[in-house]
Amino acid sequence: MWGLKGCMQASFPGVVISGSGLFRPADVITNDELVTAFNAYADRQNALHADAIVAGTHQALTHSSVEFIEKASGIRQRFVLEKSGVLDPARMYPRFEPRGDDQLSLMAEIAVDAARQALADAGVSGEQVDAVICASANMQRAYPAMAIEIQQALGARGFGFDMNVACSSATFAIEQATNALRCGTARCVVVVNPEITSAHLEWRDRDCHFIFGDVCTALVLQRSDEVPSGRGFEVLGTQLVTQFSNNIRNNFGFMNRAEDRDPKDRDLTFYQEGRKVFKEVVPMAAAHIEAHLAALSLAPAQVRRFWLHQANQGMNQLVIKKLVGADAGSEVAPLILDRYANTASAGSVIAFHEYRGDLQAGDLGVICSFGAGYSIGSVVVRKR
Ligand code: COA
């Protein structure tokens, strides 16, 4: 199973998550602000199409509601990189200044911020890093890889590459980092998850306009023999699974121009069948975590903390009830989505970053993501 091309090791060293970092934008949008802007947009559209609505050839837009959002999702606010464009009823998406090729790109900028925090936390310098993985639900451009720009800005050596497994990008990247460290193709890996979700969310769609927020997380992973004992979290195992589904989708891509598509077509931003996702993914995620723990001869009850994907409070409630009978939002399965909303791949890493300080040596934890693909990734760790 470890007969990988490129592997250098006769025996495999342990791997430790030795640091974490979080970039959080300054702008916050509360549900009140969001709903006010959406309802103003809906009123404008309805006035614009008043005759067609009366004639029955155009469907009127319905108001959104704070009560619905909080009850259905648990989300109360979200951080975004630029709020004025999102809240402008004549626009309804963020406003970013284009940057020249000689300037650090926005996605790299927030990744470098989070990565520097994670490196400081790990006590490692940029020159010690020899691999950068930029794992995110959307990349700002096709190439050169975001990771290589981030690698250069950090003063890192080695190599960098981008990867996208939507909401599971972080856990899938942790497995890639772990394999590289075990195989000896890297000694210190930075995983960054810059999620500029505000640019690919359809803020004009009542069904989903409340879902996402912007953020960037970063982790440092190192060989365990290079991290002082008592520091960090040892990776006991990673387990990934995917199963194709159209229930969360975004058709934006390099073929759009050749297809003569209107860049504002609805399917070129995020869309989903939220209720189906909820129903189908909850049992998959719970069974996945249970099976992963069983493969390591562990039971869910032995786990001190579950850092779950943060998309919907009700989903986490069902997953954690099924696993250990606890509540989402308790210390067993902390929630961060009330403050951050769904931050795609970064959600479970934010939970890890904010709720790991109280774990004692030997305590077990599980980082688990679930989302588009479908994709599920789990990482079982033990506090050193
Ligand atoms: N304000 C008021 N009412 C709204 C609304 C809003 N913003 N959005 C939808 N509604 C209405 C719907 O029109 C529907 O009305 P109807 O019953 O008259 O048809 C009703 O509320 C229920 O809508 P539904 O979409 O079934 O809600 P839900 O309970 O499934 O909650 C989600 C919606 C998106 C919060 C929920 O399905 C979810 O979070 N699913 C998981 C999604 C996920 O994890 N995705 C991964 C993303 S990466």
Indicate the burial class of 55 (C-beta count within 10 angstroms; 0-12, 13-18, 19 or more).
Answer: exposed
Q: pTM (2 decimals)? A: 0.96
The pLDDT value given to residue 131? 98
Q: Residue 149 pLDDT > 80, yes or no?
A: yes
- Taking 50 as the threshold, does the pLDDT of residue 27 lie above it? yes
Ligand 1 atom closest to 281 (CA):
44
**pLDDT surpasses 60 at 158:** yes
Nearest CA residue ID for atom 24, ligand 1: 275
- The answer to whether residues 367 and 171 touch, using CB atoms and an 8 Å cutoff, is yes
Give the pLDDT mean for 124-139. Answer: 97
13-17: average pLDDT: 95
What residue type is assigned to position 237 of the chain?
G
Could you identify the residue written with the tokens 């520097």?
Answer: 116
CA 63 to ligand 1 centroid distance, Å: 13
Rounded CA-CA distance 118/105 in Å is 20
DSSP reduced 3-state for 323? helix
CA neighbor of 289 nearest in space, from 274, 313, 314, 308? 308
Predicted pLDDT of residue 7: 56
Determine if the peptide bond prior to 355 is cis (ω within 30°).
Answer: no
pLDDT in tens, 46-75: 999 999 999 999 999 999 999 999 999 999
CB 157 within 8 A of CB 129: yes
C-alpha closest to that of 289 among 169, 114, 171: 171
User: What pLDDT is stored for residue 352 in this prediction?
Assistant: 98
Pocket perturbation via mutation, ligand 1, pick of 206, 248, 316 by most ligand atoms within 8 A of CB: 206
Dist. CA 182–CA 207, nearest whole Å? 44
The tens digit of pLDDT for each residue in 242-265 reads 999 999 999 999 999 999 999 999
CA of 370 from ligand 1 middle (Å) equals: 18
Of the residues 7, 134, 167, 183, only one is catalytic, namely 167
Site to substitute for ligand 1 among 312, 337, 374, most atoms within 8 A of C-beta: 312
Look at residue 4 in the predicted model and tell me its pLDDT: 44
H or E element at residue 169: helix 169-183
Q: Which of 32, 207, 279, 340 to mutate to test the pocket of ligand 1 (most atoms within 8 A of CB)?
A: 207
Query: What does the pLDDT read at residue 8?
Result: 54
ω before 25 within 30° of 0 (cis)?
Answer: no
Average pLDDT, the chain: 96
What kind and span of H or E run contains 286? helix 274-295
Alpha-carbon distance 144 to 150, whole Å? 11
Q: How far apart are CA 366 and CA 258, in angstroms?
A: 44
Please say if 167 is a catalytic residue.
yes
pLDDT in tens, 286-329: 999 999 999 999 999 999 999 999 999 999 999 999 999 999 98
Protein residues with CB under 6 Å of any ligand 1 atom: 64-65, 68-69, 72-73, 167, 206-207, 210, 248, 272, 274-275, 277-278, 311-312, 342, 371-372
Higher pLDDT, 16 or 329: 16
pLDDT computed for residue 148 by the predictor: 98
Tell me what pLDDT residue 11 has.
Answer: 79
* Alpha carbon distance 35, 73 (integer Å): 15
Q: Tell me how far apart the terminal alpha carbons of the chain are, to the nearest angstrom.
A: 27
Secondary element (H or E) of residue 148? helix 146-154
Token digits for 72?
């259905």
- Expressed in angstroms and rounded, the spacing between residue 359 Cα and the centre of ligand 1 is 36
Instruction: Specify the ligand 1 atom closest to the Cα of 73.
Output: 35
- Tell me if 18 sits within 8 A of 230, measured CB to CB: no
What number does the ligand 1 atom closest to the CA of 209 have?
A: 7
Distance from C-alpha of 144 to C-alpha of 133, rounded to nearest angstrom: 13
CA distance 126 to 292: 33
